[in-house]
Amino acid sequence: MGGFEGHLYPGLSLFFYGLYHARLVFRALICSCTVQHLPRHRQSQGKWARLRQIHYVGLMKILSACILVAQELYAIHGQFVLISKLYHQRSFLYRKQWQHLTLYMTFFLSGCIDVVSQNLLPQRCAALERGAQALGLFLLLPLMVSHVQDSEGVELQSHLLLTQAIFLLTLVVTAELWAPDVPQLGVMKAFFYMLIGSWLIQIGFMLYKPISGHQWMDDDKNDMIFVTTFFCWHVAFIAILMIWIYGVSFLWYCYIC
């Protein structure tokens, strides 16, 4: 996730994934059912019936992971190796790039699980999806903690706030493993996914393409304070967006359910 594109593309993926979960949980609330037993349209029997059963979200995860891996490898100049052997010494290279690829691997495996589990019962399919999400976050959290060890100033502050949101999302997803039908957990999960995605995009603009045209200064207290202020604005924006999504979902599904 280095560079502007390295923050933009994962941020968009996580944000739209949060939108997807928000739609599911609000539909379940409006229709008075669980996410695993949402009202479904009648299965078609034509030649396109099999295509309609494909887990499109899983395919999007796989496609997003492949794009992110390609973008990460394209940004590397020189030979991409794990350990150097220069002068009989052994030292690890591209530590951040290997961390990024590890994260993208979890997205890819999660998408594969979504696609493969589509033919299982709804309960088992949802359980596998929740387990894949939890595994990905268990890997993401320690990697983010080590990712900021050589950062400072604005970069450090923004990534600490991102790590805080990831930690809270990890708690929510872990609790959902034992309480999958609690709607409050589903709402919080969608909220944190969108928050992490939007804040990743914000980090990309702050560090690499500031809208004002002036670089953020690590030694300026005002810049440091406004990093946290902008994060709070993102929290408020996502909360308002969740209310708007619920309103639109209510108008759309109240007549269907």
Residue-wise pLDDT tens digits, 176-225: 988 888 889 999 999 999 999 999 999 999 988 888 778 888 888 888 88
Angle in degrees, 0-180, between the axes of helices 153-178 and 183-208, rounded to the nearest 10: 160
Q: Are 166 and 137 in contact (CB under 8 A)?
A: yes
Gap between the Cα atoms of 53 and 34, Å rounded: 20
Q: Where are the domains of the chain?
A: 3-253
- 20 φ/ψ angles, rounded to the nearest 5 degrees: -60, -45
| pLDDT for res 80 | 63
Q: What is the mean pLDDT of residues 165-172?
A: 95
What mean pLDDT is reported for the chain? 80
**Residue 52, amino acid:** R
Q: What is the mean pLDDT of residues 145-164?
A: 88
In this prediction the pTM is 0.85
| pLDDT for res 221 | 84
Q: Which residue has the higher pLDDT, 101 or 39?
A: 101
CB atoms within 10 A of CB 235: 16
Six-digit token string for 98:
């290997």
Residues contacting residue 233 through CB under 8 Å, at least 6 positions apart: none
Q: Is the pLDDT of residue 53 over 50?
A: no
Burial of 252 (0-12, 13-18, 19+ CB in 10 A): middle
Q: What is the mean pLDDT of residues 72-95?
A: 65
Gap between the Cα atoms of 187 and 172, Å rounded: 10
